[in-house]
Structure 1
Amino acid sequence: MEKQISYRINSGTEFAFRNHADFCIGTGRMGLSLQQQYQEQLKLVQDQIGFSYIRGHGIFCDDMAVYQEYTDEAGNVRTEYNFTYLDMVMDAYQSLRIKPFLELGFMPQKMASGEQTVFYWKGNVTPPKNYQAWSDLVQAVLSHLMERYGKEEVVTWPVEVWNEPNLPGFWKNADKEEYFRLFQKTFDAVKMVDSRFLVGGPAICGVDDVNWLKSFLEFCQEQNLKPEFITRHHYMFDKPEQCGHYSYGALRNPSAALGELKISRDIIDSFDLFQGLPMHITEFNTSYSPDSPIHDTTVNAAYVAWLLSQMGDLCESYSYWTFGDIFEEKGVPFTPFHGGFGLVANGTIPKPTFWTFAFFKTLQGRCVHRSDELVVVENEDGSYCGTAWNLCLDQKKRILLNITLPVKEDGEYCVLTKTVDEFHGNPRKIWHDLGEPAWLSREEIQILKDGAQPAIHTETHFADASGISLNIKLEPWAVVWFQLKKINRRSDRGYDYLRGENPTPSRLQS
């Protein structure tokens, strides 16, 4: 089945489009950044997309070894801090030109009031047994970072207090009052180091989120606390069904799912003290489980493309969870395509959604068109670039997209397209066709990397006053990037492109 859609873009047209796709990216716990494969995946992401911030769990977890205790000669328990691994992590981020969006958690075991943990790597999710010790830890870490990387730099690193405290798995009993106490103590501790730090929360997900957000803002208002931003998370999956190592579920209608963010925005703006306060989505994806095969698919890529085209209307930023598949919430994965959250599969293989972000990164000019399947921007030099996608919500059909663009002058133009669909830029299909090997050979890794690249197509058009008409074919769940740019051909002396591909018989005989 096919659906034909035509758009004529008129000169001077402008659409609102707040493109913050490259602001922040998620990661697994910070201790994983000590692995070589983690660094290789992050380097690929930074080289080809380039995010400004990175947010992850576990800065205070025991594998980072920051918080330490010892007993002195008099039998007194003393505190000391170890910044060895923290410095390694932050140095690596600095070298890759990315800043931390600091999520403060989880609780160091020796400081914790209980034994409850979350994930394969056992992050402690209980309150501190001594809030002064917690405040001292927060201040010691921030002070150390400022000494090492400079005050003017570190105060640009946002500080988020905890992760999803509205879930009893992430905060003991999902105790609101105890979280509010943690937030206030942390807020005060951070501001005592430097009042310029931006501090926010409550980092809630979509469970009882309306009640939690209202209660949080009421608490802040009563205590005369004004966080600089509000954070929440956003996932698009119905409750998944578990099958072996994997979880499967249905995607919600994206417009309806986006309505949840509108509710949060309205709640924030209903308080005079917090009206207009930035809202950061510090985690979003389709499924909320790191074993959902949808994450590796073109379906995910097209769905996320629609989200990236819309989320800036409501949010200051939206951080995809996560950049790579070095990730262990449910343990070490068994295969390279196991449904991990990452834009990059293990083996440093880009997935289709990687290209969705790479394509949106380029959409930085004046937006001249935005619709449910297309965003187009015009650059200062008169060129255009755009991203189109086929979100098959109702039925699976191909889209034939015709776009007519105005041009500033007659002449020859090049149209360049990059296509990701079922048969292009889709290493999961190649892996499946190879027999789904769990442990890839070097040769297989290279085949998958080669197959992960989008299909590139070029053609030339001659423009006149009517503009240039482009035809883009979007297979189901495809994402296509295009560029239209005027070319000034300057052939070398004696070079003939057509003659080069049609040698004369006498030349062949000789």
Structure 2
Amino acid sequence: MIRVPAESPGPFPDAWRYCVGTGRLDLALRRDYQDSLALVRREIGFGHLRGHGLFSDGMGIHRPYTHRGARHVHHSFTHLDQVVDACLAAGIRPFLELGFMPSALAGGDDTVFWWRGNITPPRDTAEWTALVRATLTHLVGRYGAEEVRTWPVEVWNEPDLPQFWRDADEDAYHRLYEATAHAVKEVDAAIPVGGPALSPGARGWLERFAEFAERRDVPVDFVSRHAYTSGPAQHVPFGVHQTLAPAGRLLDQFAQPRRALAGTRLAGAPVHITEFNSSYRPDNPVHDTAFHAAYLAPVVVAGGDHADSFAYWTFCDVFEETGIPTAPFHGGFGLLTHRQIRKPVYHLYAFLARMGPDLLTRGDDHLVTRHRDGRVTVLAWAPVDPTGTSPVPARHPLRLSVPLGARGRGEAFVRRLGVDEEHGNAYAAWRRMGSPRSPSPHQLDVLHEAAEPARSHRRLPVTGGRVDLPLTLARHEVAFVELTRVSDETPPWWDERRLLGRDPG
């Protein structure tokens, strides 16, 4: 029996909800994307959205032309306005990642992804900073300075990897960052700018970034990095398999920036983990499973101890880094598949969104919070084995003594929702129906139905102001439980025994 304290030691951090990731930004022009964004905003409530490709050719912002023998640059914001309008209409703000390089400004032809994001430095730094200034000036003019000041601006993506920044040239990145940060501040000194958006494998980059920023007196309002726990890709057609480290390794990565920056000028800077997931691949089937939700539950619950935000990568499977997906379940990063089929990890976040603001306790397999109206909410999860080598028990027992209002007797209404291998698991249903690549309308209806969590409710006695709450979690289950004091308003003449008109005598 775990006795839950009656008094809260403080709030439950909502760093998990500050930001979420997305594919390249021009995907926001699609209806499926916008429908998915509206759903996650409504049911989960993410505050910001970060994605690649703001300056890539698909957004069409940088438009050089020749007139009367001279080269000029026109900045066009047609797609940018539609993307930002779609975000704000859904109630979510941009977290602006400045990249990749427009091809007409690029210093080379090196690209990344199926959609060919250019990863080279600008061949003309002045033209690059003019692009940055023009874009932010436009955004401030259209949406207002007070609004845009709430949009963090991140310079580039994983420059420590040659896949994302040519030759992983650290000095070249520092030059890009310095020019870009000053350009941002020239538009409005209150717009937050930061970086360097490092990969999990970066060694020494953050410390040297801090030294560079201090030596050159460069603005850095926040620092950012990414976190993943998967091993090398084992390729199969249209997918990969990978080993996974224990989920606690993600928390170690979340904590790394503050450790690295202790004693530097950036020691007190906010830390944003602008991408995290288990696998770094958008075609790993583990993302679609019930295992994945239980694997990430302790990370999402405890991540706020180590970072100011940590953005799940990504909110939906409208995402094309390795090409157009070949099936609704293809191992995509998303909380949602195409057509808004909820994955088990979606429900982990949706359950968190129903938790109360006041923390009561948390442990290796549970979180307990309280709402201001007295409701107590529990998030519980079954432990997992990421190696797959040891048998996972079919049942995981958990028993909590939950405080529920003033001392005394009474009853509690207990509501429970859960996802596991058999419930809230559309991936399992899809596999059983033969893994259709293009599900029919009826099959889509069945998959949406299969994605619904299991639901149950009951009453439990309240004794001495407490409820003895026994929970038995199935394999890879994540459960949400809500307890509310019953105020019984049943009329005195009501008798269930008389429902069929019989006199009970």
- Could you state the TM-score of these two structures normalised by the residue count of structure 1? 0.94
Note the 1:249-328 alignment, pairs <5 A: 249-271=242-264, 273-328=265-320
The C-alpha deviation readout for 1:68-91, integer Å capped at 9, x for no partner, is: 011112x00111011111111111
Partner amino acid, structure 1, of 2:262: D
d(CA) in 2 for partners of 1:302 and 1:473?
A: 14
2:338 paired with 1:340: no
Q: What's the counterpart of residue 65 of structure 1?
A: 60
Q: What's the counterpart of residue 79 of structure 1?
A: 73
Partner amino acid, structure 1, of 2:438: W
2:405 paired with 1:405: no
Please, which runs of 5 or more residues in structure 1 have no aligned partner? Answer: 1-5
The C-alpha deviation readout for 1:258-297, integer Å capped at 9, x for no partner, is: 22333322111231x1122111000000100000000000
The C-alpha deviation readout for 1:47-86, integer Å capped at 9, x for no partner, is: 111110000000111111111011112x001110111111
2:47 paired with 1:52: yes
Partner amino acid, structure 2, of 1:107: M
| Greater displacement, 456-465 / 419-428 | 456-465
1:441: how far off?
0.7
| Greater displacement, 148-157 / 386-395 | 386-395
d(CA) in 2 for partners of 1:400 and 1:352?
A: 21
d(CA) in 1 for partners of 2:44 and 2:249?
A: 29
Q: What's the counterpart of residue 222 of structure 2?
A: 229
Secondary structure class of the residue paired with 1:301: helix
Contact 1:19 1:363 in 2 (8 A): no
Q: Summarize the Cα distance change of 1:404–1:160 in structure 2 as closer, same or farther, 3 Å threshold.
A: same
Q: Summarize the Cα distance change of 1:297–1:227 in structure 2 as closer, same or farther, 3 Å threshold.
A: same
Picking from 231, 240, 245, the partner of 1:247 is 240
2:152 paired with 1:161: no
Q: What's the counterpart of residue 465 of structure 1?
A: 464
d(CA) in 1 for partners of 2:184 and 2:162?
A: 26
Secondary structure class of the residue paired with 1:473: strand
1:31: how far off?
0.7
The C-alpha deviation readout for 1:229-286, integer Å capped at 9, x for no partner, is: 1000000111121111111112101224422333322111231x11221110000001
2:7 paired with 1:12: yes
1:495: how far off?
4.9
Q: Summarize the Cα distance change of 1:492–1:298 in structure 2 as closer, same or farther, 3 Å threshold.
A: same
d(CA) in 2 for partners of 1:50 and 1:267?
A: 31
Secondary structure class of the residue paired with 1:344: coil
Note the 1:390-429 alignment, pairs <5 A: 390-393=382-385, 395-397=391-393, 398-409=395-406, 410-429=409-428
2:36 paired with 1:41: yes
The C-alpha deviation readout for 1:278-336, integer Å capped at 9, x for no partner, is: 11000000100000000000111011111111111110000000000010000001110
Secondary structure class of the residue paired with 2:80: helix
Q: What's the counterpart of residue 3 of structure 1?
A: none
Q: Summarize the Cα distance change of 1:466–1:193 in structure 2 as closer, same or farther, 3 Å threshold.
A: closer
Q: Summarize the Cα distance change of 1:498–1:55 in structure 2 as closer, same or farther, 3 Å threshold.
A: farther
Q: Summarize the Cα distance change of 1:503–1:351 in structure 2 as closer, same or farther, 3 Å threshold.
A: farther
Partner amino acid, structure 2, of 1:66: I
Q: Summarize the Cα distance change of 1:447–1:498 in structure 2 as closer, same or farther, 3 Å threshold.
A: farther
1:210: how far off?
2.9
Contact 2:254 2:273 in 1 (8 A): no
Q: What's the counterpart of residue 212 of structure 1?
A: 205
Partner amino acid, structure 2, of 1:228: D
Superposition RMSD on alpha carbons, in Å?
Answer: 1.6
Picking from 148, 159, 181, the partner of 2:142 is 148
Sequence identity percentage: 38
Note the 1:82-93 alignment, pairs <5 A: 82-93=76-87
Q: What's the counterpart of residue 441 of structure 1?
A: 440
Contact 1:411 1:463 in 2 (8 A): yes
- Could you state the TM-score of these two structures normalised by the residue count of structure 2? 0.95
Partner amino acid, structure 2, of 1:122: R
1:19: how far off?
3.0
d(CA) in 1 for partners of 2:14 and 2:496?
A: 40
Note the 1:114-129 alignment, pairs <5 A: 114-129=108-123
| Greater displacement, 482-491 / 349-358 | 482-491
d(CA) in 2 for partners of 1:148 and 1:142?
A: 10
The C-alpha deviation readout for 1:405-444, integer Å capped at 9, x for no partner, is: 1222332210001000001000001101111100011111
Secondary structure class of the residue paired with 1:463: strand
Secondary structure class of the residue paired with 1:101: strand
Contact 1:283 1:321 in 2 (8 A): yes
Partner amino acid, structure 1, of 2:460: H
Contact 1:19 1:309 in 2 (8 A): no
The C-alpha deviation readout for 1:165-210, integer Å capped at 9, x for no partner, is: 0010100000000000000000000000000010010000122x23
Secondary structure class of the residue paired with 2:17: coil
d(CA) in 2 for partners of 1:256 and 1:132?
A: 41
| Greater displacement, 99-108 / 215-224 | 215-224
Partner amino acid, structure 1, of 2:37: L
Q: What's the counterpart of residue 504 of structure 1?
A: 502
Please, which runs of 5 or more residues in structure 2 have no aligned partner? Answer: none
Secondary structure class of the residue paired with 2:104: helix
Contact 2:405 2:465 in 1 (8 A): no
Contact 2:182 2:218 in 1 (8 A): no
Secondary structure class of the residue paired with 1:55: strand
| Greater displacement, 209-218 / 308-317 | 209-218
Partner amino acid, structure 2, of 1:129: R
1:491: how far off?
3.5
Partner amino acid, structure 2, of 1:396: V
Number of aligned residues:
497
d(CA) in 2 for partners of 1:128 and 1:414?
A: 62
Partner amino acid, structure 1, of 2:245: R
d(CA) in 2 for partners of 1:503 and 1:51?
A: 52
d(CA) in 1 for partners of 2:76 and 2:398?
A: 57
d(CA) in 2 for partners of 1:244 and 1:505?
A: 69
d(CA) in 1 for partners of 2:82 and 2:14?
A: 32
